[in-house]
Amino acid sequence: MDIIQLQDVSKTYGNKGILRGVNLAVRAGEFVVLCGESGAGKSTLLNLIGGLERSSGGRIIVDGKEINQMSAKERTDFYRHEVGIIFQGSYLQPQFTLFENITLPGVFAGMPEGERKERAGQLAQMLGISENLKFLPKEVSGGQAERACIARALLLNPKIILADEPTSNLDEANAEIVLQILNLIRVQMGVTIIIASHSRDVIKYATQVVTVAGRTAQSNATSGVGANAA
């Protein structure tokens, strides 16, 4: 089953065309890498899939729901539970401990405290940061902070993880650990992973590669995909 479908999607900012005629089909449990030069529209594509921005045209269907037809409230509720986001801008709150950061989406979603604690504990164990939960972000390493971002994105059991350059601030060893963790989440939990990256190291985990690149966008995939940047 396709968990994500984009049909003839376009995005313009003012009169500046960013994406045009984007068609994309992603089956549940794939590891999709969006690659392409800086400025090609990878982040824009992630923002559209993640419901953070509206498309200018076309249809975006996530887990059977067409997102342009939802009200703003429906869309917020839907995305809160459906999609976990690991974006460059989604830093940990510096004044909160890792535990508080990880459990924050549960507070907003009305998850009972006991459940938040249990879930955060399980995720921390899986991600190898159990010992770091009581610390502030500045007191842990970059790799540990990134793992806390992953735990936070997974707290509400999303079916899809969207990540924008999740390894760009990490050294090679930590980048590899983070990618292995994302792949493990895919394999063990069936979560669909979509990563925008121009790092070659990310490609080896991909089951589907989508190139977003100027007018000659090209897709290369295990399932039918097409993406075109305007």
Interface stretch with ligand ADP, choices 22-30, 32-40, 99-107, 127-135 (CB under 6 A) = 32-40
Please, what is the minimum distance in Å from the beta carbon of residue 33 to ligand ADP?
12
- The residues that bridge with 229 in the sheet, in sequence order, are 19
- What separation in angstroms does the CA of 126 have from each of 5, 35, 45, 181? 30, 28, 30, 9
CB of 192 to ligand ADP, least distance (A): 19
Nearer to ligand ADP, 18 or 140 (CB): 18
Q: Closest CB to ligand ADP among 22 and 177? A: 22
Q: How far, in Å, CA of 7 to CA of 135, rounded?
A: 44
Query: Which one of 4, 6, 22, 36 is in contact with ligand ADP (CB under 6 A)?
Result: 36
Q: Which region, judged by CB under 6 A, interacts with ligand ADP, from 23-31, 33-41, 94-102, 124-132? A: 33-41
**Out of 20, 42, 75, 119, which residue is the one contacting ligand ADP (CB under 6 A)?**
42
Identity of the residue, 36 or 106, whose beta carbon is nearer to ligand ADP in the bound complex: 36
Do the Cβ atoms of 89 and 185 come closer than 8 Å? no
Burial 204-218 (b: 16+ CB within 10 A, else e): ebbbbbbbbbeeebe
Q: What's the closest the beta carbon of residue 225 comes to ligand ADP, in angstroms?
A: 17
* C-alpha span between 138 and 67 (Å, rounded): 37
Angle between helices 98-108 and 113-127 (to 10 degrees): 130
**Under the criterion CB under 6 A, does residue 144 sit at the interface with ligand ADP?**
no
Q: How far is CA 194 from CA 4, 78, 100, 211, 213, in A?
A: 10, 18, 26, 13, 17
Can you say how many angstroms the Cα of residue 121 is from the centroid of all Cα atoms in its chain? 22
- Each residue 2-31 as x (binds ligand ADP by CB under 6 A) or -, in order, gives -----------x--x-x-------------
User: Residue 55, interface with ligand ADP (CB under 6 A)?
Assistant: no
Interface characters, 187-226, with ligand ADP (x: CB under 6 A) = ---------x------------------------------
- Output the smallest distance, CB 139 to ligand ADP, in A: 31
Q: What angle do CA 227, 19, 71 make, to 5 degrees?
A: 100
How far does CA 185 lie from the centroid of its chain?
12
Query: With binding defined as CB under 6 A, does residue 166 bind ligand ADP?
Result: no
